[in-house]
Every structure is written in structure tokens, then in C-alpha cells.
Chains A and B, each alone.
Chain A
């Protein structure tokens, strides 16, 4: 039996979250973008602003020139993340197979196996839509199809409001008349290449055989061949709600590309996570750093921690390298997220008569700092690194 995949998409997610906080902005043009940054670009905009010609990724200076009267709000990544958490919680009530974007209002649910419990997939999608609306005042577009690709095309088709059910077996016919730019996975370069061949719609592109597609697209050809036929076997990646991760976030009040401030912030986040790890008597075996830039783009980097650790200094040593690896752009950074994953109990049994090493000294120092902080507060004792610069969070 084919899969039943639901796609829920809250159009202009950031705008929807912000207008829930300030209802007076609803129904009006609105831009979400960082201010005070010379190279800031539009992170999100309302449909009304879109009608005015504002686009995502457009330099804010240009957006201002197009219409100076549109209000601009600074993005609140933490708020978007919180809103996503709420949506996820409701979604998990129907299936553990929920895949979601990073605070972008997109959710995929695989409800193939939960039909016996919750009924037809269209009904589940409809119930979730109603729940999102009543509990969070967020009104998603929804679609039901047999794959993520077809479900995503369906929601793109009805954006900004509506629903679409693509019946199993109807995928090819559904996609046939659509323009190629609606197919997820096709990049601007791919579309330009197809345009060079005068191919604008899915049905036109289908006339090419796989061999013909291989000439311009090489290894990507088989993928494109399948996509335009509605074939997408990629699974809805399960996310375990109880996944063993700990995370810390920091949003800079002023976007920054000051290395000192970034390193200091990173260290503070590490202190925060490691303290929680030590309280739970856990170690982390993996870590991930996600940087969100002023323009809304993100970059990430991951590393294994071997041996696993809950030591601030050891983790910082790894994460400082991660920061260098993830920080690939000159654009200022708005938000930083550190995730420690694969949590496990400390594996090594301490030796009875272990010699004093640098590591044991560090561990003892951190234990002493923990005791002082527990008694007198976090600011009672600080490392030198965290004393420089300003990391005021918003």
C-alpha cells in the first residue's frame, strides 16, 4: 500500500507568529528583517508586502526604496522555534513520523500506519489544521499525497490558503500541467538549463528520456526523471520527541561578525549545557552548531565527541573548531544554536589511584565552580573568556 503523507505549511510563518503578537499588523504589509545592519536582507514578508514587490532575500535598502511605509520587525528566531515546538507536539498525537523544517512552519507527517487508529489521512490533516488554528492561531495549508514531493507541490499550488488531496495513482496526471519551478529539488540553475531547451512544464520535460536528461544533468538526471513523474521514495524522517539532546540558543540583539563576541557567546552556551549535563550525570557524544545569518540563511557543522564529555573546556575546544567550520559567510550572525546529542552516562570508571592530569585538574576546577555558582549565582565566578565584550541577548 502506498504511503499517506501529510504536508502542513504555514505560509509566511515568521509573519504569522509576529502578527499573533501584534494583531494590529494583521492584514497589512509587513517585513521581517534585521534593522541596523547595512547588508540586512528581508527574512520574511506578509502577502501584502509581497504584492508590493518585496521578496525574501531582497536587500532591506531596496525593500525600503520600494515602499518606505511598510513596517519592519526584527526576526525572533526563538519565538519561531517555540511556535514550531507547539505544532510538533500536536502532530505527535497522530504519528511519531514527523519531519519538520527549522522554524519555517513546514511539517511532513507519515500517517500510513495510523489510519486504523485515527481514520483517513485527509481527516487527520483537517483535524490538525483546526487544532493549529484554535490552539496557536496559525492557519496552515495542508495536502495529502503518497510522497513528500507531491504533497509539497500540492501545497505550493494552493498557497497562501487552502488544501489539496492528491489521490493515490493520480500523481503523474496531477503534476503534468504544472510549471517546472513548482517541483521541489529543481534549483534555479536546473530550471535555467531546462528553459534553454524550451522546457517550461512538467509534461514538456517528461518527453525527454533518461539518457537525454543525462546530457545536461549528469548524475542528477535520474532524480529529475523521477521527480517529474511524482516519484519520491524519500521517507518522512522520524523525529523522536524524547531524543537525547540538549540545546542552547542565543539571539544577538545586534547582528554580529565579531569573532570575540561569538566565541564568548559560544562558551556561555557551553557552560549552560554542560551544567545541565553534569546535573543529569550525562555526557555528550556529539555536537552540532547552527548559525543563522542576518539574511535568514543558515549554516551548520557537526562533530563527534570522543571521548564523550560534560567538561566545559573540552567541549569548547571542539566547538571553537565547529564555529570556524560553520562560519563560512561574511554576513553578520543573528542567532546561534548549540546542540549536544547522543547523550550517555559517563562510561569510564574512575581509577582508585589515578595520577593528577590536566583533565582531572580541569574537572575539579569545574566542580568547584559549580559549587560556588550553586551557592552564589552564575556571575559569582567567570572564566576570562566570558568577561570581554557584550552579548546582550534579545
Chain B
């Protein structure tokens, strides 16, 4: 793929239901939580569902969610913690079945961008974890998958080759430059989809144990410009679609940065992004 224009981008944030986004001005004053998705879909084309990490997705709830969004809108759903962080040896296959069942409405409606497999920092490239990951990917085969590593031991050509062979997306992460963390890369392992997650670069808060500190970061314009350039010149040329999500949700920084990056990708360099900026790329 050589024409960046042929790549369809889905930009959004990790989660959308944050009360503090009202204070930051992203949602109008008095917005009820139940109306936040209605406001969100006017600005972005995709969202990462965080809550599926906390609880197994339920098909009826997914079905209702599908009905609320326009046809072109996509969901990226985080794989449930019982399959990534709290794996139980003899139970996880059952959990995969339950997860697949919960995802059914999204798949049927063509609204699933991918399943995001976010692995914990202690998930090193050891024999046990390698075997588990391979088995997990087998069990989830047939679904669009993106794998996010949080440990740098996975930076390995063999890993990337295997992901390529399986047509599984490697998540490019933007996170603090701390020892042991997966580095900032710009890699495409799946010609169907590239994926970037912006966690913020708050090195001080990263291991604080508090999400409000860990993801409290406002990307500087220069940082976003560098990413826009890499997306255009590297990632968009190699994949048919791209998912770009901002996880620095604290104080509404995620939607602000996401909109700015979208502007940069559209070459709207001047001025500040209004919240209701047209976003479709």
C-alpha cells in the first residue's frame, strides 16, 4: 500500500465516560453520563472500551451500545483481565468462549475494530508466557487482534515475525521512557490494521498505582507533530486501516490531544482545535 489516502483512520480515546471531561469543556455542561456517547460520536470515529477489561462483556449490553452509534463507528474492546492479568490455568479457555459470546453483537454489526490484548508489565518473554500467549491467540483466532506489550523483552524480530505470520497487530505505544517498558516503536505487523496507544509520558506518575497520576499528561504540539509525520510517512503506507487512541484521560487531555493529532494529520497546523471540529478522515 503506497497511498496514505487509502488508509482509513479511526481516532478516539480509551473510554469516553469521564465526569471530568465536562469540566475540561469536551462535554457540554450538565451532560449526563448516559448522553456522553451521543456527544462523543459527533467528534470521534472509534472508542476503546475499557470496561471489558474489568468485566466479561455481556452480549445484550453490547447490542444496545451498537444501536447508539452510527454505521461507520468502530469499537476496540480490551480483552478481559481474567485472560491477561488474572489467568486461571484450567478456566481461561472457558473465559475466551464467554468473551467471544459477549463480542458477538459487535462482530455481527461490523463494528469491531479489534480486540485489544493488553498484557501486564510482568508478562515477560518467558517460556510459560510465550506458550500461553500462543495458545490465547489460537483460541481467539478469527477475530481481529492487537497485542500491547508492557515489557521490553518482547522487542524481538521473532515476535514481530510471528505476529506478521498470524496477521496480528502490534500496538505501538507512547509511554514514558522508563527501564523495562516497551519502547516507542513504529511497526506494522498486520497489513489490515496498525494501532497506536498514547498513554502519556508522565514518568513520575507511571508506577504510582493511581490512574489519575499515571495517565496525567498533556502532549506538546511538537510531540504530536512528530507522531503525525511518522503516521503519514510510515504507518499509513503499510496498512489499510489504523486505530489511534489516547489514554491520557485525566482532565480531558485525551480528547484534546486526539483532536490536535487529527488536525495535524489533515495538515491543519494553525490554531487550536475546537471541540466540535469535524473529525472524519
- Name A residues whose Cβ lies closer than 8 Å to a Cβ of B: 1-2, 4, 112, 115-120, 122-123, 125-126, 146, 162-165, 167-170, 173-174, 177
Instruction: Give the CA-CA distance A112 to B87 in the complex, in Å.
Output: 31
Interface size on B, residues (CB 8 A): 25
Smallest CB separation, B126 vs chain A (Å): 24
Check if A173 sits within 8 Å of B64, measured CB to CB.
yes
Q: How far is the CB of A135 from chain B (nearest CB, A)?
A: 15
B50 within 8 A of A: yes
**B273 located at the interface, meaning its Cβ lies under 8 Å from any Cβ of chain A in the complex:** no
- A117 and B55 alpha carbons, distance in the complex (Å): 23
Contact A118 B212 (CB under 8 A): yes
Question: Which listed residue, B32, B60, B65, touches A2 by the CB 8 Å rule?
Answer: B32
Number of A-B contacts (CB under 8 A): 70
Which of A116, A162, A174, A177: most chain B Cβ within 10 A? A116
Q: Which of B17-25, B99-107, B225-233, B254-262 contacts A (4 or more CB under 8 A)?
A: B17-25
Tell me if B18 and A169 are in contact (CB < 8 A): no
Minimum CB distance partner of A124 in chain B: B211
Residues A1 and B33 in contact, CB atoms below 8 Å apart: yes
Q: C-beta contact mask, B27-38 vs A, less than 8 Å → 1, else 0?
A: 000111111100
| Bound Cα distance from A34 to B50, whole angstroms | 46
Contact A116/B20 with A170-B64, A174-B61 known, Cβ cut-off 8 Å: yes
Q: How far is the CB of B12 from chain A (nearest CB, A)?
A: 16
Among residues of A, the one whose C-beta sits closest to the C-beta of B212 is A119
Instruction: Tell me whether B280 is interfacial, beta carbon within 8 Å.
Output: no
Residues of B within 8 A of A165 (CB): 51, 54-55
Query: Which chain A residues lie closer than 8 Å to B183 at the CB level?
Result: none
Closest 9 CB pairs of A and B: A169-B34, A168-B33, A119-B211, A168-B34, A122-B54, A163-B55, A2-B33, A115-B19, A119-B212
B interface, by DSSP: helix, strand, loop or mixed?
helix
A120 touches B18 (CB 8 A): yes
In Å, the complex CA distance between A357 and B36 comes to: 70
**For chain B residues 147-196, which have a beta carbon within 8 Å of chain A?**
none
B64: chain A residues at CB < 8 Å are 170, 173
The reply to whether B31 and A167 contact each other, CB–CB distance below 8 Å, is no
With the chains together, A116 CA to B215 CA distance in Å?
A: 12
Q: How far is the CB of A162 from chain B (nearest CB, A)?
A: 8
Q: Is residue B15 within 8 Å, beta carbon to beta carbon, of the partner chain? A: yes
* B210, A119: Cβ atoms closer than 8 Å: yes
Looking at B17, B20, B64, B65, the one whose CB has the most chain A CB atoms below 10 A away is B17
Contacts of B55 in A (CB 8 A): 122, 162-165
- Check A2 against B34 for contact (C-beta < 8 Å): yes
Q: Tell me which residues across on chain A come within 8 A of B23, comparing CB atoms.
A: 116
In angstroms, Cα B61 to Cα A168, docked, is 11
Q: A116's closest neighbor in chain B, by CB?
A: B20
Q: How distant is B64 from chain A, measured CB to nearest CB, in Å? A: 6
Q: How long is the Cα–Cα vector from A164 to B55 in the complex, in angstroms?
A: 6
Complex contacts, A116 vs chain B, CB 8 Å: 19-20, 23, 212
- Enumerate chain A residues within 8 angstroms of B33, measured Cβ to Cβ: 1-2, 4, 146, 167-169
Shortest CB distance B241–A (Å): 27
Known pairs A1-B33, A125-B54, A167-B17 / 11 extra A-B pairs, C-beta < 8 Å: A117-B212, A118-B210, A119-B212, A122-B50, A122-B51, A123-B211, A126-B54, A167-B65, A168-B17, A169-B33, A170-B64
Q: Are B20 and A170 in contact (CB under 8 A)?
A: no
24 A/B residue pairs, CB under 8 Å, sorted by A: A1-B19, A1-B30, A2-B32, A4-B33, A115-B18, A116-B212, A118-B210, A118-B211, A118-B212, A119-B211, A120-B18, A122-B55, A125-B54, A126-B54, A162-B55, A163-B55, A165-B54, A167-B17, A167-B33, A168-B36, A170-B34, A170-B64, A173-B61, A177-B60
